[in-house]
Amino acid sequence: MVVGIPKETFPNERRVAMIPALVPSLHKAGFEVLIETGAGEAAGFPDTEYQEAGAHLVASRAELFAKADILLQVRTAGANPRFDDDLPMLREGQVLIGLMEPLWKAEVMPRLAQRGVAAFAMELIPRISRAQSMDVLSSMATVAGYKAVLLAASHLPKMFPLMMTAAGTIQPARVFVIGAGVAGLQAIATARRLGAVVEAYDIRPAAKQEAESLGAKFVTLGLESEEAQEATGYAKAFDEAFYRRQQQLLASVITRTDVVITTAAVPGKRAPLLINAQMVHTMRPGSIIVDLAAEWGGNCELTHAGETIVEQGVTIIGAVNLASTIPFHASQLYSRNLANFLNLLFREGQMNLEDEITRSTLVCYQGEVVHPRVKENLAGAKTE
């Protein structure tokens, strides 16, 4: 079977879906690899490295789509506003694998189904131990959590570490991380390495031990709940009254903080609003908010996705697609996730749709949208 790696078309996307180092392993598994010319250059992987690894370069995107049985992409379908350019090139029986935003952009999925492709959305990988090596959201969250701290440090008019100097003592910066998932834990670890005093909060009681193991002081608000997590391992949404109470309790911590990094997101829904405008106005001038949920509406009321604004002296960074800003290692992690998924999906040239992991990620198959939650979102949109 032929695996095709197109060049990414999402604006400013620098990642590539497969790195040269993994091409030999795909060959060993029985796949031929085609790559569009220049697909890996922005990530630091020139065409020559793919050729040396045994991949075949294809100059025309249309030719790549025509020859490939399986297409591996970073952002496709609902995750790429330029997907309409690729849609007519897809054909019945092809397999499409990548980030698709099937819950957030469910309306795109019927159009994808009409092309007759088998579409697998990597956002839907279940949070089970056996699937960890394929969990692209965790991999990309690791990169985003790291970069969020670097962004904060570059904008903060203070240094992060405690310093004892002849001119006096410099107190360390205070960082508050809201959401101790993968991105939050990486943000905690990075901020601590830079010398900041770090506090963390998560609605899941189990997160306390993980945050503290990285050196953060865990903030307890009395709202923590074992029900904050779905059976799939992803966050669960609560009602507005709950979030208003959460805001009131978070306010006192945010007021004394130099940097706030928010990471709270619920698949397929608007990100929970954790910081309102009034809370921002209580922060000291020069303080920083890095909102990693900006792409899904933002955890801060004043966040503008993809923009950095200043509100009464507080800098609010609407971080979008941060993983793409460190494309070399982000591509390395993403490629490994996809290679592991591909090896599970295909056994002796046949698709394995009986496994829990492949079933959970299958969105479109044989001309229909088949994923239950996507179908539910589509039905809900029709009744609104």
Question: pLDDT tens for residues 285-320?
Answer: 999 999 999 999 999 999 999 999 999 999 999 999
| Cβ atoms 69, 1 nearer than 8 A | yes
Cα separation, 37 vs 110, in Å, equals: 30
Which CATH class name applies to 138-325?
A: alpha beta
Q: According to the model, what pLDDT value does residue 230 have? A: 56
Equal CATH topology for 2-116+327-383 and 138-325: yes
Residue 91 is a catalytic residue? no
Whether 225 is catalytic: no
Q: Which of 138, 246, 287, 335 is catalytic?
A: 138
The pLDDT of residue 227 = 57
pLDDT at residue 384 in the model: 58
Cβ contact 114:89 at 8 Å: no
**Tell me, what's the pLDDT at 175?**
98
By CB atoms closer than 10 A (0-12, 13-18, 19+), residue 17 is: buried
380 pLDDT tier (thresholds 50, 70, 90): confident
Asked if the model's pLDDT at residue 71 lies above 60, the reply is yes
- Please tell me the pTM assigned to this model: 0.92
2-116+327-383: CATH topology is Rossmann fold (3.40.50)
Residue with tokens 């001119």: 167
- 135 catalytic? Reply is yes
- Residue 138 is a catalytic residue: yes
Q: Which one of 234, 243, 334, 365 is the catalytic residue?
A: 234
User: What confidence tens digit (pLDDT) does each residue in 93-138 have?
Assistant: 999 999 999 999 999 999 999 999 999 999 999 999 999 999 999 9
Active site (annotated) includes residue 174: no
Domain ranges for the chain, please list them.
2-116+327-383, 138-325
Instruction: Output the pLDDT for position 359.
Output: 96
What's the whole-number average pLDDT of the chain?
A: 93
Cβ-in-10-Å burial (0-12, 13-18, 19+) of 2 comes to: middle
Lateral strand order in the sheet of 32-36: 56-58, 32-36, 2-5, 70-75, 95-99, 118-121, 362-365, 368-369
Rounded-to-integer distance, Cα 198 and Cα 211, Å: 10
260: pLDDT strictly greater than 90: yes
Cα–Cα distance, 118 to 96 (Å, whole number): 6
